[in-house]
Structures are given as structure tokens and as C-alpha cells.
Amino acid sequence: MTATADTLCRHCLLPVGRRAMQRTVNGEGCAFCCYGCCIAHQVENGNLEEHEAAWLLVRIGVGAFLSMNIMLFSLLLYSGAFTGADAGMLPWIHLLLWLFATPAIIILGEPFVRETWLHARQGRLTASALIVLGVGAAYAYSIFATIERSPQVYFDTASMVLMLFTVGYYLDAAGRARAARDLQPLLAAESEWATVVAGDEEHRRPVHEVGAGTLVRVRPGERIPVDGVIIEGCSHADEAVITGESRQVAKGIGAHVVAGSVNLEGPLLIQSSGAASTTRWAQICRSVRDALIRRSPSQRLADAVVGAFVPVILMLGIAAAVYWAQHVPLDRALLIGLAVLVVACPCAVGLAAPMATALGIGRLARHGCLVRDPAALEALARVRLIAFDKTGTLTSGQARVVAVDTDGTAADEALARAAGLERHSEHGLARAVVAAAAARGIEPTAASDVRVVMGRGIHGSADGQVVAAGSAALMRELDWPLAPDLAERGRSREASGHSVIYIGWGGRVNAVLSLDDTPLPEAHATVEALREGGVCVALLTGDLPAAAQRIAAAVGIERGDIEAGLAPAAKPAALARRRREHGTAAMVGDGLNDAPVLAAADVGIAVGSATDLARETAAIALPPGGLWLLPWTIGVARAVRTTILTNLMWAFGYNLVAVGAAAAGLLQPVLAAAVMAGSSIVVVLNSLRLERLPEPVRSQPRQQSRTEPERAPPLRTSGAPVVAA
Amino acid sequence: MTAYLVILAAGFAGSFHCIGMCGGFACMLGRDPRGDGMTFLRHLAYNIGRLTTYCFLGGLAGAVGQVICTSQGTTVPLLNGPLDTGQRLLAILAGLLMIAMALQFFGLLPRLHRVTTGFGGSTLAASLRSLLTAPGPAAPLAFGVFNGFLPCPLVYAFAAQAASTAGVLPGFFTMLAFGLGTLPAMLLMGGVGRMLAPAWRERGVWLAGSCILVLGLITLGRGLLPFAAHIGGHAA
């Protein structure tokens, strides 16, 4: 058997880990994480007309047939059907049971024996060893009892325990597959095939072989394997895998399609616009797979406990049998030992974390939130402080006109003239001016002879006058007088972190436009939601304190939680200081210039740049424009953590109680096996509750984001500084 | 004994209902190319598997009933005899369940129908269907075993009846009688099933429903009436 620690189970998509089972299904080698997945996969996907594939299920069916017959006879024995006059029949009935039990135990026990043997060769003792030992002891004793003609045999116990474990494993795996159903489309990017059109011929190719410019045919109902442009056909596409919103988007010729979306109706011919391995879908797929393979700290702990658990239980079982042998007949004592072994099988503990984590990661990924590692998810659940970077994270990163100061001229006129000039420029601030005028419904004053002065501004002529917009330096160059009041205002705004544009015409400076980065519309609601969730919010930025305070006030961060003027290298230290006060701290940044602090935080969260996951600077990546998903993401992380904790509590608590009851001789082995199988099903069902988590709800963004300058009060020279944001 | 005959008859009548689902499986078993003997063997294996599961369920239900009624193992004859409180409650429960199943047969409880048939287990048998075409008698036997666990209102009804007997042996016999009742139709399914007109099938379903209804009423009566033995008198 090869090392398969880095592959996912074919059936339930959990990491196969060291319990791997390799089987051939439909002529294809598959790795499974457990016997149950092996059965369930066979049931759902096996081509049972092939003898080999059907063999496993036929064996289980025949095993069930035999053990049910054994159980029937044993039930009759227990109900006292062969007492009194019929007692002479007893040895023959026992012989018959032996006859039935031998093939049943060979058939049903083979996978357990095989697993025990494999692990024993690696020097490990696992749960299957408990089952094999317990069942083996019951069977061996029963043979002995049959030969000795003693009144009790336990063939039914031996076969029924195996049967129950087989059924329990199967039900387990069937339940876990429901979790995998959500992950399947996310992981499909790697295994998908594309129909490549070359001339008149069409070939099926693995999607990773598809390069840019290739023509790909997508039939209705198929998943679009590459990013590209539609050349032929029209249809609707469901882009849920990428955007998280299940919505039908109409697509016609020339429309862009995204890899991972589902083509709903018409056949499409698509020209791919890049290599298939670079699409966002492929990126999501890689990150989800990587995350699923890694083990979380709680899982490592649980695995370590399980590793130590098995030998302990083995000793306990033997000790219980030896102890009871001195007080009750040997067969009763053996039965008690068996019950201890069977009931303590720690399957539920092993399942507690991975399934919940997988569900959580899948859930987040469906909304574009990628998690590098289960540990990040667990840390996120514990986060008490979230520090934000300012520019590009809480703000749009794009300047907007926030105030117009004039020397008495109408603000609209200043804006109209400025816009008339600036629409000839490509500068970011220039675009902001044009946008502000458009938002107010101001017609820009047409300008001619427009000339851009590099680094200073722009000038031209309108209505027979020279008009200029730019820095104070430009105005000095033009030798235009600047009223002291206006100059003071401009300086103070500059000092508080605004960008300013002076506007002049008719030989003097008439107005000052102040521009500022503006908070994202969802920033305030996000901060509020985080606070409601019991998380402190802080702002760490390299900008000027005044600018930081303005933004902080707008999004609802308090004065004491702001640290401004931090060089990138100083941010980790600032975060560490706050972490000492609050506990686990997360840092949210745009990932471009906060890499050091993202990496230094307990959880680094990058907004809009999934590449940070791959570079390991961030542990969690939100989709572009996905700041609003942050509170929901934390909610999911917390739900996952709660589920893992309840699972572990249930699994351990149950084991302790059950082992105690079994060692005290209160639990029949068959009942113990049934309850054991039930316990892992409880864990699966508890984890499946995560499927019912609420969808993220975007709090209504304030609609004025584009028209905000309109809300600016009338701007006068004498007015107090006016800030609208 | 008469009681088991009634159940046998109910099983026989009910087996016309089985044509819908299990009959399909039986048809799929088809004919063995090696001759009639092998064909019969395959069908026999399938039915033995099915019957084993039924009997197991019956025995189990009976044992559960026995555990519930802590009547110290005084297994009572079916449909008559003295009953203690636990058995009365069980009888009422089983009777109600059977009546509900019967009403469902008459199409009066459509929602229950969805519950009983959509129990999720049907996907198991449906996906295992191709086992039937595998060669050899082991595959049909295995499929029969799985088939027995298929969610089926008839099986539920008789399992409830078996539980109400509060004994392993009578429970076992109840389901055995029911299973044997379904045997002729299922064995002959390949030939007869397809010839049987839908109208006859309809009548069979009504007959089965009536049988279950009567059995359910009697069981219910056992729980409710003080001298139930007289009510069940015709069967005694």
C-alpha cells in the first residue's frame, strides 16, 4: 500500500489518512478512508454487473443472511424454546449455529482482519484490532462450548457484532457523502474533461491540457470548464460556484463565461481566454483540496488520544474479563470483556472534527471564501479582535470629492469648470471630479486648448477665460492670487490627509476641491455586526491620524482603537500589543501591502486576493468586494467549532459511560455494538446540522454611495469645513 | 393456528401489491441460461433471502415486544388470551399502525404513503438492483436479504403485529406466515406477474388492505376491550 496521506477519500472527500483502503471500482483504483465508504461507494457507483464489483455486496448480503439465521435461532434459544423436553436438541442447534457462524464470520470479518493486519505491520493498534480480538474470542469460546456441550454459545454475538459494525460503517459513510455532495463541484476543476473543437473534430481532453485560445464545446447541463468568450450559441449560466449566488445569468455571443458555472440550456462554443489551471474555479478547487487534506489541531489531538485509547481499552477489556472470571462463570466474564472492547471502538472520535471542518470549508468556498487550513477556521472562531487595514479594505481605495470650498462662487460652477477640464485627463483624482459633477447632475463647462501639466494639474480655456485645476504650485506658476482664507482651508485639509485641487479662472483661484478615500458602503454594517458578535474592532493604518480618524468615525470604530502612521514593518508590533489585551487577533487587509502583518496575525484575512492563500500570507481569503461576508464567515467558523466540541464531548463522554457500563457487566455485547455504531451516526448527524446554517445576508448597502457629494451642504468660503462621507 | 392462516392469506393477497416493486426485482432475476432448474434455484435463493429478513424482523419485533411487556415470558397465543397492561398498550399501538397502513392501501392516507416508501432505504435497493443480473445463486440471495429491508407498508404492518405478540416465537411465525403468503406470487412472478391484469392487482391490493384492516382492528380490540378473547373468538 502506498502512502496516501495526501489524498481524499473517493466517497466522502475526507482525507484518507493512514486508515486508507485501496479498492478497484469499475476498473479504477480508488482510495477510501474506511470500510464504510468502500461499501457506500460501491452501492452508489459500482457497476454491479461486473462480478468483481458485485462481490463485496454479495458477500455482505450472504453474511447478513447467515447472521440473521444465527440470530433467529439464538433468539429462540434465549426465549426458552429448547428447554425442558426439547433440551436434547440443544447440542444439534449449537452445531447448526457453528455451521452458519463460520462462513459468516469469515465473510464479514475479513475486512476487519485485513485492516488489523495492515496496521499491525506498521506497528499500530487500531479500532479494528478491538473488534477482531473481541469477535475472535467470542467465536473461539463458542466452538469450545459447542464441543464441551455447555449450555451457552455466543456465535450470535460474534456474527451480530460484525454485522452491526458493517452496517454502522455503511450508514456513517452514506451520511458523510451528503457533506461531500456540496464539495464535489468545488473539487471538480481538477478532474473535469473538456470537449475541445479542432477543425471538424471534437476530442475529450482533461481540462488542465486546455490552453488559451482553444475552442471548447459545452453542452446544456455541463459545467463550463474554462474562462472564455462565447463564440456561438446562447444560454443561461448558473455561476453559483464562483459567486455563491445561485442565479441564472443570460449569456449570448461575445459574453464572458466563468469556469465552474453550469451551462443551463443551449449548447455553447467557447473560446478559452486563458489556461484552465489559472481560472478562479481552479484556484478555489486547489485551495479547498489543500485545506481538506490538512489536519486541524483538535483533530491531531483527537487522533493522538485515539492512538493511546486502543491499547488502554485492550488492557481494560482483558482486565475486566480476568476480574469477572473470579466472580462469574468464564463465559459471562469473556462476554463482559468483549462488550468493553466493542463499545469502546473510537470511530466517533476520529470523525468528530474532519466532517464538521469539511462541511464548513465547503460552505465557505461556495460563497467564494477560501480557507487555507482547518486550523485557521478554528482560530477564527476564537478571534476576539479584528484589526483592519484602511485603504482598500475599509475604504474603496478610490478618491472621491468630499468637499468644495469656494471664495463665494457657487460650488456648482466651480465643479462644472473643473469637470470640464478634468474629463480630458486619466488621472484618478480627475476621474473623481468628473464623477462628482455627474453625480450632482452638473453639465461640465466645455473647455478647449486643454493641456496637462505633468504632476501639477491641467489647464485650458472656457468661455474665453483661462481655466486651471491643479496643485497650489500650478496656481503659483500661473501667478494667480489665492485668497488667504481659501489658502488656509486648503492647507488644513491637506494636513488632515485630503488631496486638494485648486480651481481658478478669470485670473484668480476661486475654489478648492477636497478629495478623500471613502469608506465602503458595507463597512459600517460589517463593523457593527462584528461588534454584535462580541469581537473588538481596531484600525491599523499607515495613513495620517486625521485621515484614519475620519474613516474610523464613518465606519464606527472608536478613537481609542485607531493606530495611524504605522510603517508596514511596525504593524505586526502594534497588532501584538493589542493581542496581549484582547486575545486571539485577526488582521484584515487587501493583501497587497499588509503581507507581513497578515502573516503575523493569528488569522490573516485577505479581501479580494486569493493568491495570498497560496503565498501563505493569509489564512483566509474573502472574494473581491467580500468584506460584508466577514461576520458570516466568523459565524460559520464558530458553528464549526461548536460542532466539533459537541462531537468530541459526545464521543468521549459516551465512550467513558459506555466503557464503564460494559466493564460493570451491564451491557450485552450485541447491544454495545449497536450503540457503538449509533454513536458515530450521531456524530455524523450532528455535523450535518452545519448544512442548515443560514446563508450570508448582505445588509442593505446605503444607496447614496454614488450620489454622496450631492448630500454635501452648500459650500461657502466662510462655512466650516464640510465633510460629507 | 387460524390466526397464522389469516396472516398467510393477507400475505398472499398483499403479494399482488408487491408486484409493483418487488415484482420488478423478481422479473429482473430472469431466466438462467443453464435451464429451468437453475432459474428456479435463483428465484428460490432470492425468496429465501427475503423470507429470512422478514423472519428476522419478526423475531426481533417479537423480542422487542417481549422486552416492552415485562410479562416474565408468558407468551400469549395470538389474538386471544389474557393480557397485561404493557401488552395492551403494545396491542393498541400495533393495531393503530396496522389500521393506518390499511387505510394507506385504500389510498386514504397519501402523506403516510410518502413517509413509508420514501424512507431513504429504497435508494439502497434501487442501486443494488443490478446485483440481480450477477450470475450464481449468491447474488440473488444477497439481494433478497437487502430487499427484505425495503420500506414497505405491508412489512411494517406485520412487523407491528409481530411486536404485539410480545414473543420471539410468535413474532417469528407471524412474519414467516406473511412471507410464505407472498411466496407463490413472487415465485411465479416471472410468468404470472406479467399476465395479471391491472384490475386484478387492484383487487389484490384491496383484499390485502382489508385483511390488514381486520387484523388491525382485532389487535386494537385486544388492547382496548376487557374480554378480547371473545372478539377474537372467530379466530380461536
Beta-carbon separation of A72 and B167 below 8 A: no
User: Among B25, B46, B56, B60, which would you mutate to test the A interface (most chain A Cβ atoms within 10 Å of its Cβ)?
Assistant: B56
In the predicted model, is pLDDT for residue B123 greater than 70? no
Beta-carbon separation of B127 and A62 below 8 A: no
Secondary structure (3-state) at A250 = strand
Burial class (CB in 10 A: 0-12, 13-18, 19+), B60: buried
pLDDT at A633: 93
User: Among A68, A83, A163, which would you mutate to test the B interface (most chain B Cβ atoms within 10 Å of its Cβ)?
Assistant: A68
Q: What is the band of A643 on the pLDDT scale with cuts at 50, 70, 90?
A: very high
Beta-carbon separation of B169 and A76 below 8 A: yes
Chain B residues whose beta carbon lies within 8 Å of the beta carbon of residue A68: 52-53, 55-56, 145
Element housing A501 (H / E)? strand A499-505
pLDDT at B157: 79
Residue A597: count of CB within 10 angstroms of its CB? 26
pLDDT at B93: 81
Partner residues linked to A587 by β-bridges = A387, A604
Least confident of A77-81, A94-98, A507-511: A77-81
Q: Say if CB A680 and CB A350 are below 8 A apart.
A: no
Sorted by where each begins, the domain ranges of chain A are 395-517
Enumerate residues 53 to 72 of chain A having a beta carbon within 8 A of any beta carbon in chain B: 54, 57-62, 64-65, 68-69, 71-72
In the predicted model, is pLDDT for residue A638 greater than 90? yes
The b-or-e profile of B93-104 (16+ CB within 10 A means b, else e) is bbbebbbbbbbb
In the predicted model, is pLDDT for residue A480 greater than 50? yes
Beta-carbon separation of A57 and B52 below 8 A: no
pLDDT digits (tens, 9 = 90+) for A597-608: 888 888 989 887
Report how far residue A577's alpha carbon sits from residue B202's, in angstroms, rounded to the nearest whole number.
80
- Contact B74/A at CB under 8 A: no
In the predicted model, is pLDDT for residue A581 greater than 70? yes
Report the catalytic residues of A. 389
How distant is the Cα of A107 from the closest Cα of chain B, in angstroms?
13
Q: Which residue shows C-alpha cell 451528503?
A: A178
pLDDT at B125: 57
Q: What is the band of B235 on the pLDDT scale with cuts at 50, 70, 90?
A: very low
- Contact A84/B at CB under 8 A: no
Secondary structure (3-state) at A466 = strand
Chain A residues whose beta carbon lies within 8 Å of the beta carbon of residue B141: 61-62, 65
List CB contacts of A64: < 8 A, sequence separation 6 or more: A163, B53, B142, B145, B146
Residue A15 DSSP label: B
Report how far residue B39's alpha carbon sits from residue B28's, in angstroms, rounded to the nearest whole number.
12
Beta-carbon separation of B146 and A61 below 8 A: yes
Report how far residue A491's alpha carbon sits from residue A395's, in angstroms, rounded to the nearest whole number.
23
In the predicted model, is pLDDT for residue A266 greater than 60? yes
Q: What is the mean pLDDT of residues A363-389?
A: 87
Q: What is the band of A251 on the pLDDT scale with cuts at 50, 70, 90?
A: confident
Chain B residues whose beta carbon lies within 8 Å of the beta carbon of residue A64: 53, 142, 145-146
- Contact A44/B at CB under 8 A: yes
Mean pLDDT of chain A: 81
pLDDT at A615: 61
Report how far residue A713's alpha carbon sits from residue A716's, in angstroms, rounded to the nearest whole number.
9
How distant is the Cα of B142 from the closest Cα of chain A, in angstroms?
4
How distant is the Cα of A135 from the closest Cα of chain B, in angstroms?
21
Report how far residue A116's alpha carbon sits from residue B18's, in angstroms, rounded to the nearest whole number.
43
Range of the domain at B8: 2-235
Mean pLDDT of chain B: 71
Beta-carbon separation of B134 and A59 below 8 A: no
Report how far residue A203's alpha carbon sits from residue A349's, in angstroms, rounded to the nearest whole number.
47
In the predicted model, is pLDDT for residue B184 greater than 80? no
pLDDT at A6: 64
ipTM of the complex, rounded to two decimals:
0.78
How distant is the Cα of B175 from the closest Cα of chain A, in angstroms?
12
Q: Say if CB A21 and CB A34 are below 8 A apart.
A: yes
Beta-carbon separation of A68 and B52 below 8 A: yes
Considering only the beta carbons, identify the residue of A44, A49, A65 that sits closest to B141.
Answer: A65
Beta-carbon separation of A57 and B55 below 8 A: no
pLDDT at A709: 41
pLDDT at A710: 38
Q: Say if CB A480 and CB A529 are below 8 A apart.
A: no
Q: Quick one: angle between helices A630-663 and A523-532, nearest 10?
A: 20
Q: What is the mean pLDDT of residues A396-419?
A: 85
Report how far residue A347's alpha carbon sits from residue A25's, in angstroms, rounded to the nearest whole number.
25
- Contact B138/A at CB under 8 A: yes
Enumerate residues 458 to 497 of chain A having a beta carbon within 8 A of any beta carbon in chain B: none
**Secondary structure (DSSP) of B180-232:** HHHHHHHHTIIIIIHHS-HHHHHHHHHHHHHHHHHHHHHHHHHHH-TTHHHHG
In the predicted model, is pLDDT for residue A288 greater than 60? yes
Class of domain A395-517: alpha beta
Considering only the beta carbons, identify the residue of B128, B135, B172 that sits closest to A57.
Answer: B128
User: Closest chain A residue to B47 measured between Cα atoms?
Assistant: A65
- Contact B143/A at CB under 8 A: yes
In the predicted model, is pLDDT for residue B191 greater than 80? no
List CB contacts of A327: < 8 A, sequence separation 6 or more: A333
Higher pLDDT, A701 or A627: A627
pLDDT at A717: 35
